[in-house]
Homo-oligomer: A and B are copies of this chain.
Amino acid sequence: MTTDTGDGAAFRSDCSIARSLDILGDKWTLLVVRDLMWHGRHTFQALQESAERMPASILADRLRRLRAWDLVRREPYQTNPVRHAYHLTEMGRGLEPVLRQVMAWGHRNLGGGFFVPEGEEGGADPG
């Protein structure tokens, strides 16, 4: 697992979708991105307390991977004791359109809630 941005050798294929799924293709990763992007959850604990009750071991692993791929950055927000906060990088923020489409599809077809980050129109329903 020494693959960082810029190295393309580790991917399954040249397809952009396959490559994206190599990073995002599991049940949890995009939920972390969702919480960082829209729900103001920036600490380990806050992320863990999301509705889906992500196990700590998996959260730690996903944050590690997201940092390795430079989708997420970790910064100390206090020094004694050291506490860290997680934030999306620009590459991570670039996933917003993906998240929006996934949300729209789930809303249309699976009856899930719809969330609109900043006063855009319509209702609100985190989830």
Contacts and interface: CB of A to CB of B under 8 A. Distances in A.
A124 B107 CA distance: 31
A62 interface: no
A1 interface: no
B8 A111 contact: yes
A115 B18 CA distance: 12
Interface residues of A, number: 51
A109 interface: yes
A21 interface: yes
Interface stretch (A40-48, A75-83, A91-99): A91-99
Query: Of residues A17, A52, A108, A114, which shows the largest number of chain B Cβ atoms within 10 Å of its Cβ?
Result: A17
B16 A106 contact: yes
Interface of A: 5-6, 8, 11-28, 30-31, 34, 51-52, 91, 94-95, 97-115, 125-127
